[in-house]
């Protein structure tokens, strides 16, 4: 799960990671008030969307007065921000962060994430602040410093010092880096984050370390532990559903992420294009299947539906019950191809037959995909 | 012959009194697996579907000489269940549970180092040596005894591949679903070593996915050490980049984990690469007959 920069900074402050002073606003008038309150010569107005590269897209501006802050805010609010990391259509900006501008001496990169290769959290640092870390990794991997944190020992002061000195910080700043990094690490662990990234981390002219930007992603599997936390709760509502919209015409409903991806692949090989990735998951109930079916058929591009189920923990009879219920309720006109195998497959097929609805049976994965592509009107 | 599980495997089921644990314990018994006991704290001394239930894993192991555990407990308690099974010294632990927090798995991974336990999963269908022992949730009837080792990150896609093999009359020595989570107990590389050392496994099917570089590591090993035919498939060739793959996670491993990149490494290692998931069985059949002819 992702949250906005201003929400990540709230978490940072709660754990003692220094950030610029600022507030989130949703109107130009509030932007003016916050700029006045900050009382500094320069404020920064930053669009809050779930994508990086906001500066390049015109979503980050400097203002030299409260009036200018309000003017910029009214321009950015409601604008459709397109950056290299948004979908091609961009994102509408609904929230802004208004912050104090700082005198920056230099910029660094810092992040904490779980490295699956070493099965532990790692802290990454780089002197190339402001650059995307993927780019640094491609062009100059040696410039990325990495420290693995043993889960039992935690982030000890020496690790913070080692990173700080390797990044070329002064002895004084290396000392300040200890509580900074320990706070960041604690924020990462205690919120079950999958990524806590500061890019850039800045050293100010007056010798302070400050998280100028903040990005946090969270482990969806651990959301149950954090229900009391606002920023997490806000976005958690629909996390259960594993659905990604694509631009094809064959709607897919599959159990298991691997089979779901393979189903997309085989639709492409059959000359069609998948309209979505949808994994109904292992222990789905008939009701969840029904809801999943509703969502995928609400996509106006969908011309046919391919249901590809290999029952294991999900039983075919449960799936069939959900599909029939959804098709009835939605009075579905779309052609539906069903391919089922595995646990309770006979009961599942019986339920489809008894429903009186017009389902096309796929003999196997390839046959099902070809039929679904044909029913969708063939290749585009 | 088979790897990790056979007729001698004595299984305990952690979470046996739960809905999934109970259902699948019965399915395992029906398949012929020796399920010797269940564990549910607080329900020790009772019987659940004729299976004796104990309070702790240590006590269960002492009483039953069990040598494997299947874990069906809900995500918030799954790491604790794994740690308990590791502490009890069980040689094989299979965790089916989906949704275990990653930082919990960081602790489990640390406990596994230096222990005598091999963990499979979490978030996996389990392991089966057809006709001998099934620990997990896979539909038993689609399998058939034989000589092909199957290893996969995905549950249902494994069933698909196994179904194709069985349909062609090709049996399996052991099928291992290693699980799709970022931190798992047994990797492709581990499974590949086991299958390579098993004289009764004559060919191997490896089913990977986009993301990470576990398939590339296995391919490097295959290039240097494996003379048995290997068939490989990567799911997600058409997945849009940047949507599902770990963001910065892939950086440190030095690759971006696309299907294309994985196929290139696999082909260079002599793996028979399959582009369509419908062709896994046929490709293996062709590779087998070629290697026999040689």
Q: What is the ipTM, given to two decimal places?
A: 0.74
For B11, the 3-state DSSP assignment is: strand
Q: Which residue of A has its CA nearest to B242?
A: A85
Q: Which of B125, B154, B182 is nearest residue A114 as measured by Cβ atoms? A: B182
| Residue A31, Ramachandran bin (φ over 0: left; ψ between -120 and 50: alpha; else beta) | alpha
Give the pLDDT mean for A168-174: 92
Minimal Cα–Cα distance from B61 to chain A, Å?
27
Look at residue B256 in the predicted model and tell me its pLDDT: 64
Is A153 within 8 Å of chain B by CB? no
Would you call B184 exposed, middle or buried from its count of C-beta atoms within 10 A (0-12, 13-18, 19+)?
buried
pLDDT at A356 over 80: yes
pLDDT band at residue A378 using 50, 70 and 90 as cut-offs: low
More confidently predicted of B36 and A221? B36
Give the pLDDT mean for A109-127: 93
Minimal Cα–Cα distance from A266 to chain B, Å?
6
Look at residue A225 in the predicted model and tell me its pLDDT: 85
Comparing A44-48, A180-184, A229-233, the range with the smallest average pLDDT is A229-233
Look at residue B246 in the predicted model and tell me its pLDDT: 34
Is B241 within 8 Å of chain A by CB? no
B155–A312 CB contact, under 8 Å: yes
Residue B179: half-sphere exposure toward Cβ, Cα within 13 Å: 24
Comparing A159-163, A230-234, B65-69, B91-95, the range with the smallest average pLDDT is A230-234
Look at residue A239 in the predicted model and tell me its pLDDT: 38
Give the pLDDT mean for A145-154: 91
Q: Which of B24, B238, B247 is nearest residue A264 as measured by Cβ atoms? A: B238
pLDDT at A287 over 80: no
Q: How far are the Cα atoms of A119, A136, A151, A262, B159 from residue B110, in angstroms, in the given order?
A: 8, 30, 8, 33, 31
Which residue of A111, A142, A257 to mutate against B (max B Cβ within 10 Å)?
A: A257
Look at residue B270 in the predicted model and tell me its pLDDT: 96
pLDDT at A64 over 50: yes
Mean pLDDT (10-residue bins), chain B, 294 residues: 91 94 95 96 92 95 97 94 96 95 95 96 96 96 97 91 96 95 93 97 94 90 96 87 42 62 95 96 92 61
Span A66-114, pLDDT tens digits: 999 999 999 999 998 888 777 777 888 999 999 999 999 999 999 999 9
Look at residue A236 in the predicted model and tell me its pLDDT: 33
Spell out the SS3 assignment of chain A: CECCHHHHHHHHHHHCCCCCCEEEECCHHHHHHHHHHHCCCCEEEEECCCCCCCCCCCCEEEECCHHHHHHHHHHHCCCEECCCCCCCCCEECCCEEEEECCCEEEEEEEEEEEECCCCEEEEEEECCCCCCHHHHHHHCHHHEEEEECCCCCCCCHHHHHHHHHHCCCCHHHHHHHHHHHHHHHHHHHHCCEEEEEEEEEEEECCCCEEECCCEEEECHHHHHHHCCCHHHHHHHCCCCCEEEECCCCEEEEECCHHHHHHHHHHHHHCCCCECEEEECCCCCCHHHHHHHHHHHHCCCCCCEEEEEEEECCCCHHHHHHHHHHHHHHHCCCCCEEEEEEECCHHHHHHHHHHCCCCEEECCCHHHHHHHHHHHCCCCC
> Is the CB of residue B94 less than 8 Å from the CB of residue B136?
yes
Round to whole Å and give the CA distance between B214 and B221.
Answer: 11
Look at residue A229 in the predicted model and tell me its pLDDT: 45
Look at residue A21 in the predicted model and tell me its pLDDT: 96
Look at residue A136 in the predicted model and tell me its pLDDT: 83
Look at residue A106 in the predicted model and tell me its pLDDT: 92
Q: Over chain A, what is the mean pLDDT?
A: 88
Round to whole Å and give the CA distance between B230 and B236.
Answer: 20
Tell me whether the omega of the peptide bond preceding residue A261 falls within 30 degrees of 0, making it cis: no
Task: Point out the residues of A that are catalytic.
Answer: 109, 197
In chain B, alpha helices (H): 19-31, 57-64, 75-87, 102-112, 156-167, 188-197, 214-225, 249-252, 259-268, 280-293
pLDDT at A124 over 90: yes
pLDDT at A164 over 60: yes
Look at residue B137 in the predicted model and tell me its pLDDT: 94
Minimal Cα–Cα distance from B114 to chain A, Å?
15
């Amino acid at each position: 799960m992702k949250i906005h920069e201003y929400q990540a900074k709230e978490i940072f402050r709660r754990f003692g990671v220094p950030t610029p002073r600022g507030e989130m606003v949703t109107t130009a008038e509030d932007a003016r008030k916050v700029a006045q309150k900050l009382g500094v010569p320069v404020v920064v107005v930053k669009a809050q969307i779930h994508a990086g590269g906001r500066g390049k897209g015109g979503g980050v501006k400097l203002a030299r007065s409260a009036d200018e802050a309000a003017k910029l805010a009214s321009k950015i609010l409601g604008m459709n921000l397109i950056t290299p990391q948004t979908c091609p259509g961009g994102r509408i900006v609904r929230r802004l962060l208004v912050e104090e501008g700082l005198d920056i001496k230099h910029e660094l990169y810092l992040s904490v994430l779980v490295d699956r290769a070493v099965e532990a959290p790692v802290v990454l640092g780089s002197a190339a602040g402001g650059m995307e870390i993927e780019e640094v990794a491609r062009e100059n991997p040696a410039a990325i410093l990495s420290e693995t944190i043993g889960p039992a020992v935690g982030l000890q002061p020496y690790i913070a010092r080692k990173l700080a000195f390797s990044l070329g910080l002064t002895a004084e700043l290396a000392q300040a880096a200890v509580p900074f990094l320990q706070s960041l690490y604690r924020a990462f662990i205690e919120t079950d984050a999958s990524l806590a990234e500061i890019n850039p981390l800045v050293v100010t002219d007056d010798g302070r370390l400050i998280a100028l930007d903040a990005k946090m992603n969270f482990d969806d599997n651990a959301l149950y532990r954090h229900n009391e936390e606002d920023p997490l709760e806000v976005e958690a509502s629909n996390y259960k559903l594993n659905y990604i919209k694509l631009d094809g015409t064959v709607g897919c409903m599959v159990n298991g992420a691997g089979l779901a991806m393979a189903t997309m692949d085989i639709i492409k090989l059959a000359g069609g294009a998948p309209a979505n990735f949808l994994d109904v998951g292992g222990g789905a109930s008939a009701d969840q299947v029904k809801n999943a079916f509703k969502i995928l058929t609400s996509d106006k591009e969908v011309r046919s539906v391919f249901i590809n189920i290999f029952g294991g923990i999900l039983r075919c009879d449960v799936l069939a019950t959900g599909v029939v219920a959804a098709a009835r309720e939605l009075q579905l006109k779309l052609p539906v191809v069903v391919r089922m195998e595995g646990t309770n497959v006979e009961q599942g097929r019986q339920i489809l037959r008894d429903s009186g609805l017009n389902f096309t049976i796929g003999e196997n994965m390839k046959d099902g995909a070809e039929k679904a592509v044909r029913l969708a009107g063939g290749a585009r | 012959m088979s790897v990790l599980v056979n007729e001698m495997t004595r299984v305990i089921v952690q979470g046996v009194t739960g809905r999934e644990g109970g259902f699948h314990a019965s399915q395992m018994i029906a398949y012929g697996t020796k399920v010797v006991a269940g564990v549910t704290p607080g329900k020790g001394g009772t019987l659940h579907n004729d299976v004796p239930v104990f309070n702790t894993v240590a006590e269960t192991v002492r009483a039953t000489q069990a040598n494997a555990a299947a874990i069906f407990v809900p995500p918030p308690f799954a790491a604790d269940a794994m740690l308990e099974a590791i502490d009890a010294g069980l040689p094989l632990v299979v965790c089916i549970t989906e949704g275990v927090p990653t930082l919990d798995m960081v602790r489990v991974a640390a406990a596994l180092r230096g222990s005598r336990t091999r963990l499979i999963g979490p978030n996996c269908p389990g392991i089966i040596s057809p006709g001998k022992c099934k620990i997990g949730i896979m539909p038993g009837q689609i399998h058939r005894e034989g000589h092909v080792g199957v290893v996969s990150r995905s549950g249902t896609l494994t069933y698909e591949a196994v179904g194709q093999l069985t349909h062609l009359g090709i049996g399996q020595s052991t099928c291992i679903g290693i699980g799709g989570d970022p931190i798992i107990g047994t990797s492709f590389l581990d499974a590949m070593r086991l299958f390579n050392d098993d004289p009764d496994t004559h060919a191997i099917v490896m089913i990977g996915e986009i993301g990470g570089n576990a398939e590339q590591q296995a391919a490097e090993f295959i290039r240097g050490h494996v003379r048995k035919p290997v068939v490989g498939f990567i799911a997600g060739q058409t997945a849009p980049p940047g949507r599902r793959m770990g963001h910065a996670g892939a950086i440190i491993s030095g690759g971006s984990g696309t299907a294309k990149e994985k196929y290139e490494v696999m082909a260079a290692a002599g793996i028979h690469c399959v582009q369509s998931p419908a062709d896994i069985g046929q490709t293996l059949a062709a590779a087998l007959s070629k290697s026999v002819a040689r």
